[in-house]
Amino acid sequence: MAYYQRHVFFCVNQRENGEACCNDHNAQAMRDYAKERIKALNMSGKGKIRINNAGCLDRCSEGPVIVIYPDDIWYTYVDQEDIDEIIDEHLINGRPVDRLKI
């Protein structure tokens, strides 16, 4: 058994040179929100779900981005409602959210 059922990486990279980056889209706040929501749902920890920061995931033009392993599903999002949909549909019910996939 894997240590975590699912591992969610939020790109929170901030570029200083003006190039596109995920943190220009409130990525750190969305990651913090997801982490707190997963904790509130009692879904964090060994055998459950881990929410992590990631540096550049090299998909800047599609950002902001998250990737969920071991599913290898990449998402973009706009706001907290999109994060809730990913949590509710994918992480809780195991149904990927096609409209947010990249």
Q: Checking DSSP bridges between strand 73-76 and strand 65-69, what pairing results, if any?
A: antiparallel
Do the domain assignments include residue 49?
A: yes
CA distance 80 to 33: 8
Q: What is the pLDDT of residues 6-42, one digit of tens each?
A: 999 999 998 888 788 888 899 999 999 999 999 999 9
Q: What is the pLDDT of residues 59-96, one digit of tens each?
A: 988 889 999 999 999 999 999 999 999 999 999 999 99
Do the domain assignments include residue 1?
A: no
CATH number for the domain harbouring residue 43? 3.40.30.10
Closest-CA residue to 29 (of 80, 69, 90, 101)? 80
How many domains does the chain divide into?
A: 1
Q: Full-prediction pTM beyond 0.85?
A: yes
- Whole-number Cα distances in Å, 85 to 1, 52, 71, 77, 98: 26, 18, 17, 10, 11
Could you tell me the residue range of the domain that residue 77 belongs to?
A: 6-100
